[in-house]
Structures are given as structure tokens and as C-alpha cells.
Amino acid sequence: MSLAASSLSSLRRQLTSGKISARDIVEDVIAQISSRDGDIGAFLSHNGEAALAAAEKADLSLPLGGLPIGIKDNINVEGHPCTCASKFLKDSYTSPYDATAITKLKAAGAIPFGKTNLDEFAMGSSTENSGLQTTQNPAAPGHIPGGSSGGSAAAVAARLIPAALGSDTGGSIRQPASHCGVVGLKPSYGRISRYGLVAFGSSLDQIGPLTHTVEDSALLLNALAGGDPRDSTSLNDPVPDYTEGLDSGVSGMKLGLPKEYFADGLCPKIRERIESTAKKLESQGAEIVEISLPHTEYAVATYYIIAPAEASSNLSRFDGVRYGNRTENPEDMLALYTDSREAGFGSEVKRRIILGTYVLSSGYYDAYYLRAQKVRTLIRRDFQEAFEKVDAILTPVAPETAPKMGSASGDPLKHYLADIYTISANLAGNCGISVPLEPIDGLPVGLQILGPHLGEKKILRCARAVEAG
């Protein structure tokens, strides 16, 4: 197995035993990308020289010493472009600072390597909304990699790099992880600082890892978690060692299957895979119980009011004045704003801005935004009640395996509806992980394990049991 294809934990063992050097790993990552990423399209940019220089100086005594990590291109890395896969920022913006997640990765010895493709400004679930390039699903060419962190998932799945960071506002780490066959963790809201992540839906966004193994996910969470004075929504709760107890199994755990998640619309083969996995966990000592999350049917409508509302406000900073695209010779100030935005944003981003502006406008605010916030509370309460009865919840990640590219183009509603299983965890602020199951007809599929707020240890332990089989 090439070095770029290895897990972080195995690279770490090889590095500390002196078998390989950090330079060997980075050289292999560069070689893999240059020989194979032309067909996949996972990376938007990378700076091999800078990464090699960082590898020379790597401190191998640190927990992630010398390990290269791909970074979704909506997370700022000093000196690198940060395009958000948008024409608005392409060739016109270089990050002047590191996101806190990057500062923390560097402090743990890791080498942020390259920027990966995404749906423009993380709006989408196929990476087809990227304004810059398409990304193939490495496990199933011709199929979408999922999204919006499709570049990160594809980079790991194609074994171009051992691990990558993504962001998850409504499923954008878990869903591409499921479609590409890797592990994707969305931590609880506040567990990782959002400082330096280009904001989409500020009350929903979280950064998280995409990895080959559950252990690697825990290793990265160890480095990334913690409070940050620069993000007032980050939490100062102590950061446990997430790798500790990972192998203690599910014996004695209570796991819930929410009946609303197994209703019409779910591919029967996915349902079967999840049910047989639940049986296996039962045979390992877990107790499986049916639960109810009664407000699930309102989740898509609620999310597609709140997320665009926040996006319309967050994206108002892209106006041609300060960041990125600026129209030449505008007639007046208003034309500077409107022409720069018209030319810079793609159609899905415009759709979200229009939706968001509408639901926030006076006269409609109470009917849409305020009501959505109330329903959000009901969804959160559903989970609070469920987690009084169970330790974790098992669900599908998406209603079907990775669709063919272009199959939902022109039908945004189809994409929105397919987010049904992932968005509730963001609305509630809980954590969730997608862990690969046996592929279906050759296509990867993940199991989603949802946990209570700050319940990352529980879901990692359960995911590890699934992974171990």
C-alpha cells in the first residue's frame, strides 16, 4: 500500500519507528495527486514545495507529527487560496490567516496539504455545484462523490491523501463519506472552533474529519476540539482523549432505530444493510430499541428556511468591495454590488440568497423564519427525549447510494429532500458519524450513528464496533 493510501495511525507508527520520513509521505501524496487527480478532480490547489518544507521541519513527537491533511477550500489556510469553489473568490483571494482548526492541526504537528473541491460555498450535496471543476466518485466513476465536502471525501477515498477536513452544515461531511466509502464525523455544535471557516449557516456549521478509519477520526478530533476565544459559540468543555476506550465494544449500549427514518423513500437495500448491522451489534451485547423522532417530517422545510436565511446574511460580505470579484467600471455604487454578485455567484448560491432574503423580509419573517426556529426547538426536543432512552441512534445517511452525475440537475428540490436524514443533527446541534458498511451493488454506503450533544466518544465507540465487523 502506498503511503498516501495508509491510515494516519499506521503512518504514525512507521514514522516513529524511523521506517519512513515525513518527506516520504508528502512526496507520495504529491506523486499520487499528479498521476491520478486529473481524472478525479478532488483538489483545487496545492503547494507541494511548502508542504515538503514543512515535512523537513516536522516534529514527530507530536500526535500528528508529519502527517499531511487535505483541507476543504472553505477553510482558511494562511498563504493559500480560499475559493469556496466560487468564481467570486478564484484568483482574487489569498488567506491572510489560519482558521483555528488549522492552527490546531499545525500545533499537533500536521501539515495542511492542498485545498479540496466543494459545492460553491458548501451549498449542495453532490459537488456538482462547484463553480470551478467536477469531482468524480473514486469508488464509482460517473457517479457523484456527494457533497458538499466531495473533494475531501474523494481525496481520501481515492487514497490521494490519508485524511482531510470537511465542513457540515446539513450533512456535508457524513453524506460524501457515505457515498465514497470513508469515515466522516460531524462533531457537536461548538466542539470545534468555526473561526476561519467561511460561514454558510453559522448556527449549523461544524468542521470535521474525513478519514479511512474510526481511530483516525478520533485522532483528528483530539487535535481539533476545544474552546476558542475567537469563536464565542465554541465550547470550553474539557477535551477527552477520543481514542481511549474506542475498542470497548457496544455491550451494554442502548441503540435506537427511529421509525420515521425507515419510512417510504428509503432504498430497501440500505434499510436491509442497516437492519442486519443492528442485528450484529445486538449479538455483540447492544440493546436495539425502536424510537420515535416525531418532528422529522418538518426537518427539510425547517433547514431550508434557516440555512438560506443565515447564508443570505453571511454572503452579504461578498459585494465587490472587500473580497474577491469586482466588476469593472460600474455605473454607480449599487451597480458595483449587483454586477459583482451577478457575475461571481453560481445559480444555487443565488437561489439560497433569494430564499434567505425572502424568509427574513418584513411581512414574511414571522411566517417563515420565526416559525422555523420554533420547529427547530421541537426537533431538538425530540432528540433530547430520545437520548434519555438510548445512547446512540442508528440511521441511513442518504435515501440512496451515490446517484449518477447530472441525474438531479435542474431539480434542486430533489437534492434538498435527500438531506432528510442528516440535517436534523445540525438543527439540534448533536454529533453524528458515517461509517462504511458493505457496498450495495458495488456502491459504497454508510451507516449514520447520531449521538447526544458532546457524545462523540459514544458514537466513535459504536462506529468502531461497526468497522470491526
Is residue 6 annotated as a catalytic residue, yes or no?
no
Closest to 256 measured CA to CA, from 160, 368, 145, 384 = 384
Q: Binding ligand GLN by CB under 6 A: which of 146, 170, 403, 432?
A: 170
Q: Binding ligand GLN by CB under 6 A: which of 168, 215, 231, 382?
A: 168
460 scored as a contact of ligand GLN (CB under 6 A):
no
Looking at beta carbons only, is 320 or 429 nearer to ligand GLN? 429
Which residues make Cβ contacts (< 8 Å) with residue 331, sequence separation at least 6?
none
Looking at beta carbons only, is 75 or 123 nearer to ligand GLN? 123
Catalytic residue selected from 6, 86, 148, 312: 148
Measured CA distances, 405 to 126, 379, 458 (Å): 8, 32, 35
Q: Binding ligand GLN by CB under 6 A: which of 71, 122, 161, 180?
A: 122
Distance of closest approach, residue 409 Cβ to ligand GLN, in angstroms? 14
Closest to 132 measured CA to CA, from 151, 104, 155 = 151
* 3-state SS assignment for residue 312: helix
171 scored as a contact of ligand GLN (CB under 6 A):
yes
- State how far Cα 307 lies from the chain centre: 15
Q: How many Å is the maximal CA-CA distance in the chain? A: 71
Q: Are 400 and 283 in contact (CB under 8 A)?
A: no
424 scored as a contact of ligand GLN (CB under 6 A):
no
Looking at beta carbons only, is 144 or 393 nearer to ligand GLN? 144
Q: Binding ligand GLN by CB under 6 A: which of 124, 190, 396, 436?
A: 124
- State how far Cα 203 lies from the chain centre: 15
Q: Binding ligand GLN by CB under 6 A: which of 419, 445, 450, 462?
A: 419
Is residue 202 annotated as a catalytic residue, yes or no?
no
130 prior amide bond cis, ω within 30: no
> Stretches 162-170, 217-225, 393-401, 442-450: which one binds ligand GLN (CB under 6 A)?
162-170
Q: Binding ligand GLN by CB under 6 A: which of 307, 425, 437, 465?
A: 307
Q: How many CB atoms lie within 10 A of CB 172?
A: 36
Distance of closest approach, residue 167 Cβ to ligand GLN, in angstroms? 6
Element of type H or E holding 278: helix 268-283
- State how far Cα 281 lies from the chain centre: 26
Residue 192 DSSP label: B
Site for ligand GLN in 200-259 (CB under 6 A): 200
125 scored as a contact of ligand GLN (CB under 6 A):
yes
Measured CA distances, 237 to 216, 224, 228 (Å): 22, 13, 11
Catalytic residue selected from 172, 193, 340, 424: 172
Distance of closest approach, residue 442 Cβ to ligand GLN, in angstroms? 24
> Stretches 24-32, 52-60, 163-171, 323-331: which one binds ligand GLN (CB under 6 A)?
163-171
Q: Are 454 and 431 in contact (CB under 8 A)?
A: yes
Q: Residue type for 32, please?
A: Q
172 scored as a contact of ligand GLN (CB under 6 A):
yes
Is residue 424 annotated as a catalytic residue, yes or no?
no
Binding site for ligand GLN (CB under 6 A): 122-125, 148, 168-172, 200, 307, 419
Catalytic residues: 72, 148, 172
